[in-house]
Structure 1
Amino acid sequence: MSDSSKPNKAVILARGLGSRMRRESDEASLTKEQSAAADQGVKAMISFGRPFLDYVISGLADAGYDDICLVIGPEHDMIRDYYDSIPKSRVKISYAIQEEPLGTANAVLAAEEFAGEDAVVVLNSDNYYPVDAYRALHELDGSGLIGFDPEALIEKSNIAADRVGAFAFVVADADGNMEEIVEKPDAQTIARLGDEAVVSMNLWRFTPAIFAAAKQVPLSTRGEYELQDAVRQAIADGDPFTVVPLAEGVLDMSNRDDIASVADALNELEVVL
């Protein structure tokens, strides 16, 4: 077993259906290849010279994560075929299959065998996070997440002010541990949470305790097993989550309208897998 306090394993949630990416938008800004990937809802494989997911994985490698697990659906041959065929010098890539799209907690649970007894970093496949965020999670001793400053997200990301409320807001207690997490809060709730609230962009560090918690959560009103519910369960079971504040931006690729801004931001980045 490797040292769980210094994880080198990362789990990327790439099972999402990408329904918003399939919606109509301004096709003039998309290449034929980008449009085809968007039509299939496979956001991670939208090309910016190379697939978006390559940039995500390269950033993880920059921070010392060399054992990568992609959580995919049984239909995602596009992802598996691509990563099985390309040369890799810095990372090893494996796959975990989420048989049905039953939510983010279920997706994390699919990676239980990959994680084993080690801690893992878990992230979305449609966000490009700063390397410093990965490094900060690497230094934690237990479970935690990056809490992004809302103003920095607006200033340094492609996320407009009116979109910040679409993410989860987090409040920490006096010890820096998560006290409350609210998904998609309205303006009144954001005001209640106060100026110290930060934004979760779904960038986590989990100990193996998350898997026991994920097995306990009920279906949400959306008919999914939600990762936030699993986190609350893990905390209730005695696994505190450190909130690591970070005043940096995140590139978000939720829909087609984000593709042009992501292309501009990734233009100068070097990718080495």
Structure 2
Amino acid sequence: MSTPPPAPTKAVILARGLGTRMRRDDAAAELSSAQAAVAASGVKALMDVGRPFLDYVISALADAGIQEVCLVIGPEHEVLREYAAAASGGRVRVSSAVQEEPRGTADAVAAARDFAGEDRVIVLNSDNYYPAEALRALAGAPGSALLGFDRAALLERSNIPAERIRAFALVRRGADGLLVDVVEKPDAQTLAAFGEDAPISMNAWLFTPAIFAACDRVEPSPRGELEIIDAVRLLVADGEPVTVVPAAVGVLDMSSRADVSAVQDALSTVEVAL
């Protein structure tokens, strides 16, 4: 009987995004002057929702057993470098790695290669808050894994409207619970083929070091980006098992100015400990 791998203690948070939707003005969104300034900067992970949004994300990771966090940032993101230095030293050590150009999520993950070393790492978006219970389940998976979110739970417990959820990546899981395929931005035909019960991916991953070789092999997508989903497909094609961990929970999304109020309300009772 093989010994299970040690639980991951490292996480990578992808914070290199340009924040295009957050920068867009929205007259209907009621923001404080401080919130409006963050929105205009596009660094949505630092949106003040009682405290910086990233505080909540990192605290949930710490609750799931993570001890080291690496923020993947752009060379211009001095404010995120300063945040990492200020947030580090409590339950979690926080550092940063630079993705020189916004070439896509696979390239962003590759920027954290030195941080990961030979360890497994959880990889997350910086603009999503994933409950600690889901992160604990992800950390308990063997090898590589992803969270497969339940559509009904996302609709009921998230701040994300149905039309946006319909655009999220769909997961095909085999009878053995392993990933067969994942499709980004599915069209109506794909939605019908996968079915309403198909799990949804919201970019919450657990990777072995094999992901970095896969990222090196990824070709640009039709959007011209190096996509982490394509790297995961290469892992599956190479025979690496990727477990789909069921997650019947909500996720908070901080993509636009219209999201700020709902996220702030939802996090108002959440305790943060960094």
TM-score, length of structure 1 as denominator length: 0.96
C-alpha distance in 2, partners of 1:211/1:256? 34
1:146 Cα offset (Å): 0.4
C-alpha distance in 2, partners of 1:255/1:163? 12
Deviates more, 1:181-190 or 1:218-227: 181-190
C-alpha distance in 2, partners of 1:87/1:135? 21
1:28 Cα offset (Å): 5.2
Q: Which amino acid aligns with 2:259?
A: D
Partner of 1:263: 264
Q: Are 2:244 and 1:243 aligned?
A: yes
TM-score, length of structure 2 as denominator length: 0.95
Query: After superposition, where does 1:205-244 map in structure 2 within 5 Å?
Result: 205-244=206-245
1:83 Cα offset (Å): 2.7
Contact 2:151–2:197 under 8 Å retained in 1 = no
Contact 1:72–1:97 under 8 Å retained in 2 = yes
Contact 1:4–1:117 under 8 Å retained in 2 = no
Q: Which amino acid aligns with 1:233?
A: L
Partner of 1:254: 255
The 3-state SS of whatever aligns with 2:217 is: coil
Residues 38-62 of structure 1 show CA distances to partners (whole Å, capped at 9, x for unaligned) of 1111010111121100110011111
C-alpha distance in 1, partners of 2:198/2:187? 13
The 3-state SS of whatever aligns with 2:65 is: coil
List gaps (5 residues or longer) in structure 1.
none
Query: After superposition, where does 1:154-233 map in structure 2 within 5 Å?
Result: 154-233=155-234
The 3-state SS of whatever aligns with 2:240 is: coil
The 3-state SS of whatever aligns with 1:260 is: helix
Partner of 2:137: 136
Q: Which amino acid aligns with 1:197?
A: A
Contact 2:178–2:243 under 8 Å retained in 1 = yes
Alpha carbon RMSD of aligned pairs, Å? 1.4
1:271 Cα offset (Å): 1.2
Partner of 1:121: 122
Contact 1:149–1:198 under 8 Å retained in 2 = yes
C-alpha distance in 2, partners of 1:140/1:111? 21
Q: Which amino acid aligns with 2:33?
A: K
Partner of 1:101: 102
Query: After superposition, where does 1:9-88 map in structure 2 within 5 Å?
Result: 9-26=10-27, 29-86=30-87, 88=89
Q: Alpha carbons of 1:87 and 1:188: their partners in 2 closer, same or farther (altered >3 Å)? A: closer
C-alpha distance in 2, partners of 1:213/1:83? 28
C-alpha distance in 1, partners of 2:240/2:42? 35
Q: % of aligned pairs identical?
A: 59
1:182 Cα offset (Å): 1.1
C-alpha distance in 1, partners of 2:5/2:42? 34
Q: Alpha carbons of 1:25 and 1:170: their partners in 2 closer, same or farther (altered >3 Å)? A: same
C-alpha distance in 1, partners of 2:87/2:15? 18
Q: Which amino acid aligns with 1:175?
A: D
Q: Alpha carbons of 1:86 and 1:119: their partners in 2 closer, same or farther (altered >3 Å)? A: closer
Residues 232-262 of structure 1 show CA distances to partners (whole Å, capped at 9, x for unaligned) of 0111122121111111100011111111110
C-alpha distance in 1, partners of 2:17/2:5? 28
Partner of 1:110: 111
Residues 83-130 of structure 1 show CA distances to partners (whole Å, capped at 9, x for unaligned) of 313564201011111011000000000001100000000000000001
The 3-state SS of whatever aligns with 1:205 is: strand
Q: Which amino acid aligns with 1:148?
A: F
Q: Which amino acid aligns with 2:61?
A: L
C-alpha distance in 2, partners of 1:257/1:118? 38
C-alpha distance in 2, partners of 1:12/1:130? 15
C-alpha distance in 1, partners of 2:256/2:29? 15
What is the number of residues matched between the two proteins? 271
Q: Alpha carbons of 1:13 and 1:86: their partners in 2 closer, same or farther (altered >3 Å)? A: closer
Q: Which amino acid aligns with 2:24?
A: R
Residues 190-230 of structure 1 show CA distances to partners (whole Å, capped at 9, x for unaligned) of 12102431100100000000000000011112121000000
Q: Which amino acid aligns with 1:105?
A: A
The 3-state SS of whatever aligns with 1:16 is: coil
